[in-house]
């Protein structure tokens, strides 16, 4: 909740003391600046946390990595067949989104290029292994 800074200034102004009004106004402005600086630092830290730990938009370079890791995790978790939409849906549950019109298309393109998966039907990719046994 915002602190009422004007009421005390108006009280000093009503008393007619110009010097005190100027001093109090400058003090309040310094307080406001200090609070704005602290808020800016907090905002920067919170944005960095969101970028690192979720609720973030995957950057172009991170898309492939996130899709690959997720597809392999789903397969190793027991899914023998994975769809691009399942990969995107799982990433969304983790707070990761893609700022493109059709994120499943990107996931499908990446799955096609992965040696660990074989396309068995439209939007269906079978896990064929990567040296690790699916659990």
Residues 74 and 101 reside in one and the same domain: yes
* Full strand arrangement of the beta sheet holding 81-82: 81-82, 124-127, 117-121
Look at residue 86 and tell me if it is in a domain: yes
User: According to the model, what pLDDT value does residue 49 have?
Assistant: 73
- Is residue 30 a part of any domain in this protein? yes
Total domains present in the chain = 2
Residue 112 located in a structural domain: yes
pLDDT at 55: 53
Asked if 49 and 60 sit in the same domain, the reply is: no
Query: Residue 134 has what pLDDT?
Result: 46
Are residue 123 and residue 62 in the same domain, yes or no?
yes
Q: Is residue 49 located within the same domain as residue 72?
A: no
Same domain as 47, residue 18: yes
Q: In the prediction, which pLDDT does 54 show?
A: 56
Structural domain boundaries, residue 122: 56-127
CATH of the domain at 100: 1.10.10
User: What pLDDT is stored for residue 135 in this prediction?
Assistant: 47
Query: Is the domain of 10 the same as that of 39?
Result: yes
The pLDDT of residue 101: 85
- The whole-model pTM stands at 0.55
Would you give per-residue pLDDT tens digits along the chain (135 residues)? 467 888 888 888 899 888 998 999 999 999 999 999 999 999 888 877 766 665 555 666 688 899 999 999 999 999 999 999 999 999 988 888 887 889 999 999 999 999 999 999 999 999 998 755 544
- For residues 65 and 92, state if they share a domain: yes
Residue 119 host element (H or E): strand 117-121
Crossing angle (nearest 10°) for helices 103-113 and 84-93: 120
Residues 49 and 82 in one domain: no
22: in domain:
yes
């Amino acid at each position: 909740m915002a602190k009422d800074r004007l009421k005390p200034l108006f009280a000093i102004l009503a008393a007619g003391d110009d010097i005190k009004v100027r001093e109090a106004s400058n003090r309040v402005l310094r307080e406001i600046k200090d609070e704005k600086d602290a808020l800016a630092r907090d905002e920067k830290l919170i944005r960095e946390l969101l970028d690192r730990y979720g609720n973030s938009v995957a950057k172009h370079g991170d898309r492939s990595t996130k899709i690959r890791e997720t597809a392999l995790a789903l397969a190793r978790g027991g899914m023998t067949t994975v769809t691009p939409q399942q990969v995107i849906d799982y990433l969304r549950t983790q707070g990761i989104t893609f700022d493109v019109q059709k994120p499943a298309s990107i996931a499908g393109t990446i799955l096609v290029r992965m040696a660990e998966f074989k396309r068995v039907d439209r939007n269906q990719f079978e896990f064929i292994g990567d040296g690790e046994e699916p659990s």
